[in-house]
Structure 1
Amino acid sequence: MTEKRRGRPCKPRSLSVSPELDAFLDMLMAERGAALNTRQAYERDLMDVSRWLAQRGMTLEAAGTEDLRAYLAHLAHADAAPAPRTVARRLSALRQFYRFLVSEGRRTDDPASALDSPKQGRPLPKVLSEAEVLALIDTARSRGGPEGTRLVALLEILYATGLRVSELVGLPLSAILRDGRGLIVRGKGGKERMVPLSDPARDAISTYLPLRKDFLVPERETLQAKFLFPSRTSDSGHLTRQRFAQILKDLTVAAGIDPDKVSPHVLRHAFATHLLDHGADLRSVQKMLGHADIATTQIYTHVVSDRLRRVVAEHHPLARRKAGG
């Protein structure tokens, strides 16, 4: 029968869950308002530690710092080692559990207080290949009509400039320089920057502008008039981020590309990475992306380095000879 504790439903208590752990999990729900899913996640993490300790004749409640260090070392060297984020979450659960035991007077020391957090590193951005980006643009162009022409313009601008999606969809008509060679973009903190447009992006804008009127409606024209990409329905008067992301997902499927790989922000990553691939300097890429700190831009150098290492490993004759013995 399912128990009810403190007015919240919970699953039947497992025989392997100790009273101390059960009390900690109840506290999460009663005092911190944790959801049942959160309770179950903490239970899974702490029971994993408990089972490993039990195999070595130790209980979770009595474990010392060295026991916990040995467990973390076991995770790091396991054949299917969990991701650093998973280890960090598990360590957080341990720290909270032992703090609870100390606060309740069930232990006088906290064995998790001396443990170091694992280095999580910074996840590398997803990147599309140049061929995949071109496939997206070609697929959009094949649609024709106002919708397809607008989509080509959106993609060409995004790939030519690396704009944030909010900057892209909210571009005013006045952002286009008089000579058409660039855009004045207002980014985070209201800071303006000039970004150049590629020839394909300029051509796409020129082709789209005569069709822009198809996205205007008389009763909303005052709201829509200033935007490069007006919307017939949005409260803002311009195409929304959410709508553009939805259109892009549909396009990705039509282009035969894994939709999990593609988002507006991934195209921003592609812009930066492909520029660096072709020899652009990091400072110029930083300015075009609108990064306040060049350290943010440097993440793309890791993507390029990883790609170059794979190219060498796969195509360099010495690397192939070594791999083949």
Structure 2
Amino acid sequence: MTGELSIPVQGGALATPQEYVDFTEAWLANRRLSANTRDAYRRDVRGYLSWCGEHGVEPLQARFTHVNEYGRWLESCVDQRTGRTIAATTVARKLSGLSSWYEFLHKLGMIPANPVTGADRPSVERDHSATIGMSPGEVDALLRAAADDSPRHHALLTLLADLGLRVGEVCKLDLTDLGHERGHRTVRFSGKGGKPRRRALAPGTAAALDHYLQQRAAQVHVAVEDLSGPVFVSESGRALDRHAVFRLVRRLAERAGIPSAAQLSPHSLRHAFATTARGEGVPLEDVQDAMGHADPRTTRRYDRDRHNLDRDPSYAIWAARARRGNAS
């Protein structure tokens, strides 16, 4: 947090920066969240408190008008990764987390009401995903580029593509998470909210993973079964982080000649997993289970996004014009 905050709360007491840290940690401890989500919420609250300090707003006396002002400020901020202003979905997520934080303080009796409740939140389109998707052919091209690059990168992107895992889930995989169950090669991991999950590895996925682990074991002169620690490690032996995977996807997508390479992310492979599975006739509920979506509406969003493009009337208009041109 930037600067010192001296903020009167109910009863005339003062809340110090450390007390706000304590409030936030207590709030997070009362929610079932993954470590990555907790970190994101911490950053969001810290950013809001910094904004309050810079604008002379007392957080525990904030009104919905202050939250509106903060929301408009967020909308004007530039995302350093993209060079564009922050997406409406990101602003909505930050305000949602802030609302939960305030609601927790309200239940503790620290504030009379949640100021985010009456705030004007950005409208978020629910009919399609903001993630730039990929066609099956583009995924194939990306995996070929990964195979040419290194066994590690091929195994990593194959897991993302074939299982539709979140990048954080893949980065946290440990070798003890790999196993065999009822004739299947499997991987166990913690999903969103810390929920334990299990997925099967298809033959090609398992082969890519085995090839990488065999190479890794040979480099340190041990048997594969004697390897330990994270599944995917850097040259220094530390677990790969999501930022490294983000850069990897874009670098290999550019090498593969994918037109949208500069806009892709690891989540693009998760998006492609959902749309490809539905295109191959996999039932919606099976895709929902595989992706770990608690709400089927989240899975349907990917499906609608696929149909919105595949069934765009512009293709019919173009085809009709082409037929007329050929007939004349």
TM-score, length-scaled by structure 2:
0.55
Task: Give the whole-Å Cα distance in 1 for the aligned partners of 2:262 and 2:216.
Answer: 30
- For residues 30 and 315 of structure 1, do their structure 2 counterparts lie closer, same or farther at Cα, with a shift above 3 Å needed? closer
2:246 counterpart residue number: 245
Q: In the alignment, what sits opposite 2:229? A: 226
Which residue in the other structure is 1:196 paired with? 200
Structure 2 counterparts to residues 247-266 of structure 1, below 5 A: 247-257=248-258, 258-266=260-268
Q: Is the 8 A contact 1:215 1:232 kept in 2?
A: no
AA of the residue aligned to 1:177: G
Structure 2 match to 1:279: 281
State the partner residue of 1:309: 311
Q: Distance in 1 between matches of 2:317 and 2:280?
A: 20
What is the deviation of 1:295?
1.8
Distance 1:287 1:301 in 2: 14
1:164–1:265: 8 Å Cα contact kept in structure 2? yes
- In structure 1, the partner of 2:186 is 182
SS at match of 1:276: helix
Deviation at 1:206, TM superposition (A): 1.8
C-alpha contact 1:161 1:271 (8 A) present in aligned 2? yes
Residue matched to 2:28: none
Q: Give the secondary-structure state (helix, strand or coil) at the position aligned to 1:298.
A: helix
Question: Any idea what the Cα deviations from partners look like across 1:25-64, whole Å, max 9, x if unmatched?
Answer: xxx975459xxxx99x88xx9xxxxxxxxxxxxxxxxxxx
User: In 2 relative to 1, CA 160–252 (structure 1 residues): closer, same or farther, beyond 3 Å?
Assistant: same
Q: Distance in 1 between matches of 2:179 and 2:234?
A: 23
> Secondary structure, in 3 states, of the residue corresponding to 1:286?
helix
- Percent of pairs with identical residues: 31
Counterpart residue type for residue 320 of structure 2 = R
The residue number in structure 2 matching 1:75 is: none
2 CA distance for matches of 1:128 and 1:267?
7
Tell me if 1:134 matches 2:140: yes
Separation in 2, partners of 1:195, 1:153 = 16
**1:177 is paired with a residue of what secondary structure?**
strand
Secondary structure of the 2:187 match is strand
Corresponding residue SS for 1:194: strand
Residue equivalent to 2:320: 320
The answer to whether the 8 Å contact 1:171/1:185 transfers is yes
Measure how far apart 1:322 and its partner are.
10
**Matching residue's letter, 2:311:** R
Cα root mean square deviation, aligned: 4.0
Q: Give 1 or 2 for the bigger CA radius of gyration.
A: 1
Match of 2:98 in 1: none
Shift of 1:196: 2.2
Matched with 2:27 is none
Q: What is the Cα deviation at residue 164 of structure 1?
A: 0.5
- Picking from 171, 174, 196, the partner of 2:173 is 171
AA at the equivalent of 1:160: D
CA distances 1:205-236 after superposition (whole Å, capped 9, x unpaired) = 12111112367699xxx9x82221123437xx
Distance 1:29 1:181, change over 3 A: closer
3-state SS, counterpart of residue 228 of structure 1 = coil
Residue 107 of structure 1: aligned partner: none
Structure 2 spans left out of the alignment, 5+ residues: 1-52, 59-68, 77-86, 93-119
**Alpha-carbon distance between aligned partners in 2 of 1:301 and 1:132, rounded to the nearest angstrom:** 18
Normalising by structure 1, we get a TM-score of 0.56
Could you tell me how far apart the structure 1 residues matched to 2:121 and 2:255 are? 43
Give the distance between the partners of 2:218 and 2:125, measured in 1 at CA. 47
**What is the SS of the residue equivalent to 2:125?**
coil
Indicate conservation of the 8 Å contact 2:254/2:262, yes or no: no
Distance 2:219 2:142 in 1: 22
